A and B are shown apart, each in its own frame.
Chain A
Amino acid sequence: MAQPLEAGGRPFEPGGLAPAAGPTAVPRGRSSVRRWWGRFARNPGALFGLAVFLAVVAMAVFAPVLAPYDPIAQGVGKPLARPSAEHWAGTDSFGRDIMSRIIYGSRVALVVGIVAVLLAMVIGVTLGLISGYYGGVVDVVIMRVMDGLFAFPIIILAIAMMAVMGFGVRNVIIAVAVGFIAPFARVTRGDVLAVKEEPYIEAARLAGVSGLGIIFQHVLPNVLAPIIVQGALRVSGAIITEAGLSFLGLGPPPPTPAWGRMIAEGQAFIVMAPHVSTFPGIALMLTIVALNLLGDGLRDTLDPRMRR
């Protein structure tokens, strides 16, 4: 599913912003970070998102310490036992501890979500930089391919990729990443086109800086903020896509704990043991809500369209 924030409407409401100090005086360094934090911290939703996201990260990093049981060990409790003091989230049909599986499942979710988005970001931004800076035939070819990729619903493209590549975490990451390349390329290209006309780029070109030098030293830093915002907004989409693939049985193979597969496994027992699906779903939903709120907060405070 995913890319739900595609249609954020007109998210750049210019409310509550100090007038910028002029386009040449883009604030850098520590004071600008502090000023950004000041704006960010005023948004309770974004703070909540950040807190939950950090908690999920901690859960993934310290999973071996936090998880009360081995996530793939069967029969640590009675099958389909309800939540209790020993098993906070109950057990699944194999008698595995659901809480431990949720804790370990955060690893799959975060690794796939973050690595896939980073991968898509590196490829998409590079393509967008080349496309926007050089223009001409290169631009046309790259952007038409991106248009084609963009037409695929992400989950359908990911399903197709899994069909071609076979299962496994690495392939899930690639499959999810491919679906997110086009938006990064588009955003980057658009901003490069705007930055390209700025006098300092002209100056660098006249000073004899090479094309690549201009792209990486002068263009990239100036288009980075919207790219970071895009990245933050896309992680939730990537995690939902991974969960969707897992749910369909096309994700990381069992017994790897993945939230999507846990939800799918629980569906058969929804009448007698609703907790099997419910708890992994809550973990997934909280993570997605947190990332969406965090992304919204970053967008509202980081996007240069609001600073300029």
Chain B
Amino acid sequence: MVRFVLSRIGQTLAVLFTVSVIIFALMRMIPGDPVLMRLGDDFTQEAYDRLRGELGLDRSIVTQYVIWLRQVLTGDLGDSVLNHERVSRLVLEAFVPTLLLVVASVVVGILIAVPSGIVAAMRKDSPWDYGSMGFAIFGYSMPSFWKGIILIWIFSVYLGWFPAMGYVPPWTNFWEGLWRLVLPAVTLGTFFSGLVARIIRSSLLEVLDQDFVKAARARGVRRAALVYKHALANALIPVVTVIGLQFGALLGGAVLTETVFAIPGMGRLSVSAILNRDYSVVQGTILVGVFAVVLVNLLVDLTYAFLNPRIRVT
């Protein structure tokens, strides 16, 4: 187990290193001279050379990378060109609503997926099965931004049950915050539930087909009891893996969903940064987003190892 944990942490560090190189390279590929952009109208050759030296741009590309990495590791992501705030603060502030949306969507997704996956597996090839699998396919095939607009149309405009948009942090006003989170979380959660319901169904079917289940059935144990006592626990392990595999997709979906619901998260920050050529903010959002994905994958793998004794002992 210790060896597994250490090797997974090692792999994670390797991935983070590659990611950092990719982001560094991307930022260097941006057209335009960063020195000129910062100098603006104050251009003199002397000022140019001095700033170039200060930014380390006169050194080798490897040295530049090392300088950049040191800054990133100490949390120094630079300042926003637009409003001169620290990028690290801007990005973390934007990351909280996005993460909240992702977590809420996972909860909503599991609440929908577990019952519909069970029903589909227990009544395989029945209208229940087709119905819940059809819902699953539509759930993950509907683009989240369009689904969000349709939900606003039905539940805010037409029925008037939920606010159409906006964000209130749940720690300032819990119920208001939660209420406003419902539609965005359903939007993204039905994408996630679509994936999970299919996996629960297929792994349940697999377990139900195994000899020990057939033997128990022969002894007269009811199918429902079997599912809840034996099969479901096995079927839920892959769900943990899906959270890891799909965390990136969920984060990407959240970026789009929050744009629809005017949630001040990573999506809005990165898009406005791109349109304003505020590249240090762009870099910050990407860094934090990818770092979160890599970290969640590590956590999920470790959780999986903990849940699965076959990995735990090796």
Is A117 engaged at the interface, CB distance under 8 Å to the other chain? no
Within 8 A of A (CB), among B238-296: 238, 241-242, 245-246, 248-249, 251-253, 255-256, 259-260, 267, 270-271, 273-275, 279, 282, 285-286, 289-290, 293-294
- Give min CB distance, B103 to chain A, whole Å: 16
With A250-B274, A271-B157 already in contact, the answer to whether A10 and B202 are too (CB < 8 A) is: yes
- Bound Cα distance A13, B202 (Å): 9
Q: Does B87 contact A (CB under 8 A)?
A: no
Nearest chain B CB to A297 CB, angstrom units: 12
Enumerate chain A residues within 8 angstroms of B199, measured Cβ to Cβ: 7-9
CA–CA, A13 and B286, complex, Å: 38
Cα of A135 to Cα of B181 in the assembled complex, Å = 49
A-facing mask of B139-150, CB < 8 A → 1, else 0?
011111110011
In the complex, A233 has a CB within 8 A of chain B: no
Knowing A9-B238, A163-B279 touch, does A284 contact B143 (C-beta < 8 A)? Answer: yes
Which one, A77-85, A97-105, A147-155, A185-193, is touching chain B? A147-155
Interface-central residue, B18, B143, B267, by most chain A CB under 10 Å: B143
Given known pairs A248-B267, A250-B271, A264-B145, the reply for A278 and B150 (CB within 8 Å) is yes
Secondary structure class of chain B's binding surface, majority of residues: helix
Q: How far is the CA of A166 from the CA of B202 in the complex (A)?
A: 43
Question: 16 A-B pairs, CB-CB below 8 angstroms?
Answer: A1-B249, A7-B241, A9-B198, A11-B202, A147-B14, A148-B15, A151-B19, A152-B286, A153-B255, A156-B248, A157-B286, A263-B143, A263-B149, A270-B153, A289-B137, A292-B141
A281 located at the interface, meaning its Cβ lies under 8 Å from any Cβ of chain B in the complex: yes
Residues of B that sit less than 8 Å from A by CB: 11, 14-15, 17-19, 21-23, 26-27, 29-31, 137-138, 140-146, 149-150, 152-153, 157, 191, 194-195, 198-199, 202-203, 205-206, 238, 241-242, 245-246, 248-249, 251-253, 255-256, 259-260, 267, 270-271, 273-275, 279, 282, 285-286, 289-290, 293-294, 297
Using CB atoms, name the residue of chain B closest to A248. Answer: B271
* Contact present for B286 and A7 (CB under 8 Å): no
A281 touches B150 (CB 8 A): yes
The answer, among B153, B255, B267, for a CB contact under 8 Å with A274, is B153
Give the 10 A-B CB pairs with smallest separation, nearest first: A148-B18, A155-B252, A153-B248, A9-B199, A281-B146, A153-B252, A288-B141, A1-B253, A289-B141, A4-B140
Chain A residues, CB < 8 A from B14: 144, 147
If A7-B246, A147-B15 are given as contacts, then 15 extra A-B residue pairs at C-beta distance below 8 Å, sorted by A number, are A1-B256, A4-B246, A6-B249, A8-B199, A13-B202, A148-B18, A154-B249, A156-B290, A163-B273, A164-B27, A250-B271, A277-B146, A284-B143, A285-B142, A289-B138
Query: Which among A19-27, A35-43, A208-216, A239-247 touches the partner chain?
Result: A239-247
Q: Give the distance to chain B from A83, nearest Cβ to Cβ, in Å.
A: 15
Instruction: Take A6-B246, A9-B198, A159-B271 as given contacts and tell me if A153 and B145 are in contact as well, using a CB distance cutoff of 8 Å.
Output: no
Find the A residue at minimum CB distance from B294: A151
Q: Provide the residues of chain B in CB contact with A281, threshold 8 Å.
A: 142-143, 146, 149-150
Q: How far is the CB of A267 from chain B (nearest CB, A)?
A: 5
CB of A282 to closest CB in B, whole Å: 9
Interface size (A, Cβ < 8 Å)? 55
Between B249, B270, B282, the greatest number of chain A beta carbons within 10 A of the residue's beta carbon is seen for B249
> What residues on B are CB-neighbors of A149 within 8 Å?
18, 22
Closest chain B residue to A160, Cβ basis: B286
Q: In the complex where A1-B253, A263-B146 touch, is A7 in contact with B242 (Cβ < 8 A)?
A: yes
Question: Does A266 lie at the interface of the complex (its beta carbon under 8 Å from any beta carbon of B)?
Answer: yes
Are the CB atoms of A270 and B249 closer together than 8 Å?
no
CB distance from B288 to the nearest CB of A (A): 10
Do B19 and A148 touch across chains, with their CB atoms under 8 A apart?
A: yes
